[in-house]
Structure 1
C-alpha cells in the first residue's frame, strides 16, 4: 500500500487540481492520500472537507498552528497506513505523474535502497531562487556527500518504517538522503520536470532560512560523524 503525504498551507485553490492528478496517476494501485494542513488561514480546511465527501482514499490532518513543512511531513508519516510513503508538495509544482516511478524505483532497488528522490530539471523558480538553491545544494554535497543534487524537491519515496526512525528536527525534510545514508541505505534518483505554481504565492522565501539552513547543515554533519559504522543485524536461530 502507498501513502501519499502532502504538506500544505493556504493551498485551497491548488489542492483540488493536485488531488485529481494524484488519483489519475495512481489509478489501479492501492493507496491513500494524506493532506496535512499546516495551520492554513484560507479555505483549505473547508475545501478538504468537501473533497473528502467525494474520495474515500483522502484523509485530512490539521495543525492548530503553522509548525513548518518538516513538521507537516512528519505528522503525515506517522499517520500513514502504507508500507511506502510518497511525499509531494501541496502547491502543484511537483507533478504527480512521477509518483509511480518513484515507488517502483524504491522497490526495484532492493532492500539496500532507502529512498527514491526526485531531481528537478528545467526549474520554474526565479533566477535568484535557482542560484540560491544551486549554491545551497553544492555546499550540502561538499559537506555531507549525500550524492544528491537537489534535496529541495518534494517528490520522494521511502519505506515507512525507515522514515519513522530518522532523527527529526525542523528542516529535516531537506536532508532525507543524507539521513537515509546514515542508516546504511542507498539513494536512487528520478529526474522530474518542475511546473509553475498555478495559484497563490510561495510560503518560503530565498533568504528566510539562510542562517537556520547553515546551522541545520552542520547539525546533520555532526549526526553523520556520530554514526560511522552501521552493522548488519540478524537474529541467530540455530
Structure 2
C-alpha cells in the first residue's frame, strides 16, 4: 500500500509571490500577428492580478505556435498547448481550462474582437459570487459594433433559440467572452458536447445546476489581423448543439449528421442507378454495383468534410480512410441483410424487416467508422 502524500504545512508562498487567481484561455488557429498585441493588452488590463495566459493551438500553419513559444521562453505566465489530430473551438477552450489550477478561468478570442479592458470587471463579478460573468453585446449598452444588419438579425435569432436549452437567463448566450469559476466547468464537462463554437451555451446547458450569471456590456470590435474562422459550418454545428442539449445527449449530434448524410447518399444511389440502368443501358448488376460504389464515395467525402470536420483526413490518410469506410459499409450491408431476414421470418412484415436491418446497418456504420476511419489521433 502506498504511503499517503504529505502536504507541506503551508503553501510555498513567499513575500513576493501570490497564488494564481485567473487563467485566460486563448484558442488559436493562424493568429500569429495577434499574439503579441493581445498579450500586451492583457498585461495592461490585468495589471496587479496574478494571472496566466494559456494558448491552445489547433495546428496553425502560419507560425502562431512558434511565436507563442518564443514569448513563453521568457514568460512563465504564458503557456502553450499544441493539439494534434483534433480541432474545435469549444474543445480547445475546455482543454485549456483543464490545464490550469487557477480557481477562475476566462475565455477570450485571439482576434482582438473582445474588449479585454472589461476582464477585471468580469473577474470581480465572479469573485463577488457569480458562477459566470459574461461579456455581453446585447444588454446594458453593449454593441455588435460594425456588424451588417443581416448578421445582427441572424445572431439575435440564434440567441432566441438558445433560450430553449439554457437553464438561466442571459442576454448573450452566444458570447465567447466570459469568466467562470473553474469548479463550475468541472461539474459541467461530463455533459458537455463540445460541438462547434458556442462554448458558453454548452456550459450553461450542461451544468447540473442553474449557474448564477453576471453580465458586463462591451462593444464587439473588428478583427485586427488574420482571417475569420466562421463559415457555413457554424450554423449547422449550432443546430446540432441545440439538438444534443434538447435530447440530453441520448442521440449524439455527430450521429444525427452521419445519418442525414446517409439519407442523402441513398438518394444519390437511386439517382445513379436510374441513370446507369435506364439511360446508359447498363445491366442491373453493373448499374447497382456502380451506384453503390458512388454512394459510398459520396458518403465518405461528405462525412469527412462535414460530420468529422475536426478529424478531417487528407492526402494518403484520405485514401486509407476511404478503404476502411468501404470495408465497414460492406460489413454493415451483410449485417443489414441478416437482420432484415431474421426480423422478416419472425414478423412476416417486409417493411419492419427492412427498417430493422437499415437501423442496425446505420448504427454499425457510424460506430465502426468513428472508431476506425475517423478515430482520434
TM-score between both structures, scaled by the size of structure 2 = 0.55
**What are the ranges of 5 or more consecutive residues in structure 2 without an aligned counterpart?**
1-20, 250-377
Structure having the larger proportion of residues in strand: 1
Question: What's the CA shift for 1:87?
Answer: 1.0
Tell me the equivalent position of 1:119: 136
Moved more, 40-49 or 147-156: 147-156
Structure with higher Rg: it is 2
* Residue aligning to 2:241: 216
Output the TM-score relative to the length of structure 1.
0.85
Q: What is aligned with 1:230?
A: none
For the Cα contact (< 8 Å) 1:14–1:92, is it kept in 2?
yes
* Separation in structure 2 between the aligned mates of residue 64 and residue 157 of structure 1, nearest angstrom: 27
| Residue of structure 1 in register with 2:348 after alignment | none
Match of 1:160 in 2: 182
Query: Is it true that 1:150 corresponds to 2:176 in the alignment?
Result: no
**What displacement does 1:66 show?**
4.9
Equivalence map 1:1-238=2 (5 Å): 1-108=21-128, 110=129, 113-120=130-137, 121-124=142-145, 125-142=147-164, 144=166, 146-166=168-188, 167-169=191-193, 170-171=195-196, 173-175=199-201, 176-180=203-207, 182-205=208-231, 207-223=232-248
Tell me how far 1:223 sits from its aligned partner: 3.1
Contact 1:138 1:149 in 2 (8 A): no
Higher-helix-fraction structure? 2
Task: Report the secondary structure of 2:93's partner residue.
Answer: helix
Q: What are the superposed Cα offsets for residues 172-201 of structure 1, whole Å, 9 maximum, x if unpaired?
A: 604123334x42432111111211101111
Mapped to 2, the partners of 1:44 and 1:68 lie a distance apart of 17
Aligned-pair CA distance for 1:145: 5.7
Q: Matched residues in 1 for 2:105 and 2:165: separation? A: 27
Greater shift in the superposed pair: 94-103 or 146-155: 146-155
Highest RCO, 1 vs 2 (Cα 8 Å, sep ≥ 6): 1
Between the two proteins, the alignment pairs up a number of residues equal to 219
SS of 2:218's equivalent?
A: strand
| Unmatched tracts of structure 1, length 5 or more | 225-238
Moved >6 Å (runs of 4+): none
1:54 Cα shift? 3.4
Paired position in structure 2 for 1:236: none
Contact kept, 8 Å, 1:115 with 1:188, in 2: the verdict is yes
Counterpart-to-counterpart distance in 1, 2:66 and 2:240: 37
Provide the aligned C-alpha RMSD in A.
1.9
